[in-house]
Amino acid sequence: MTPILEAKNVSKSYGVYQALKDVSLKFFEGETVSIVGPNGAGKTTFVNVLTGLLKPTEGDVDFLGKSIAGVGPVKLSEYGMARAFQLVHIFPLMTVQETIISAVISQAGSQYNFWSSALAQKRLVDKAYEVAKIFNLDKKMSSQASYLSQGEKKLLDIASAFALDPKVILLDEPTSGISTADKRGIMDTLMEAAKISGIKTILLVEHDMELVAEYSTRIVALAEGKLLADLPPKDFFANAELEAQIIGKRVSHA
């Protein structure tokens, strides 16, 4: 099977500090892959390299057979990959409709004449409504983002990434800042949205290991910039020492 995304012997250094050390991974259609590791493991650097924000010092990243090393988020979205960040990146005075439309326009490459023409174009409004409905935001199209709950703001930010019609999406801590009671609701919405939107592969950076266990098809663990494990959830959580390295649990050898 041909991978949809592949990291090939990727290393990344910042001066004398090596954040990634010869990491090779393949990602395939139909997978939800969680990337986990303790603080300083190299997760952020790795996903920044995977999503074209950073160019690796050594190695390459291929997406659909094309090198995307360091191409940047705009070009990457044109190729078919999008990223939703840990921190919400929305403009508080824009409405839900305007926020999603701005993402659609950026993907279409028609940034010019935004305010004079975009809202008047029925296809853009229809597209925004279609995306908003997937995330249960369709009844708040005219609401300013600042009036949304934290969970709704998070969904709006992710909806903007989905509006780019990506084949692969990377979700960076999608439940951060969300109450424990709402986390599964957010994740269920994201998984269903991915199915409806035709997203082929999900990459997930998440600290909540219960969510990782429940929603992943594979778990990739990094430690000190190196690939520590690449396992199905059942095998990952069956390895107490491996789990301890990632989340700091003490392992009893009694």
The rounded Cα 213 to chain-centroid distance in angstroms is: 17
pLDDT in tens, 45-64: 999 999 888 999 999 999 99
The rounded Cα 132 to chain-centroid distance in angstroms is: 18
From residue 91, give the alpha-carbon distance in Å to each of 77, 144, 153, 156: 20, 9, 10, 11
pLDDT at 41 over 60: yes
Residues facing 23 on adjacent strands:
10
What is the Cα gyration radius of the chain? 19
Six token digits for residue 191: 């998984």
Confidence bin at 118 (pLDDT 50/70/90)? very low
Q: What is the pLDDT of residue 113?
A: 53
* Per-residue buried b or exposed e for 69-86, using 16+ beta carbons within 10 Å of the residue's own CB: bebeeeebbebbbbbbbb
Lowest-confidence range among 87-96, 107-116, 138-147, 226-235?
Answer: 107-116
Six token digits for residue 71: 């191409």
pTM as predicted: 0.85
Lowest-confidence range among 8-12, 70-74, 221-225?
Answer: 70-74
Residues of the chain with pLDDT > 90, as a percent, come to 56
Domains of the chain: 5-247 (3.40.50.300)
Backbone angles phi, psi at 13, to 5 degrees: -120, 145
Average pLDDT of the chain?
87
Confidence bin at 250 (pLDDT 50/70/90)? very low
Confidence bin at 248 (pLDDT 50/70/90)? low
pLDDT at 170 over 50: yes
Average pLDDT over residues 84-108: 76
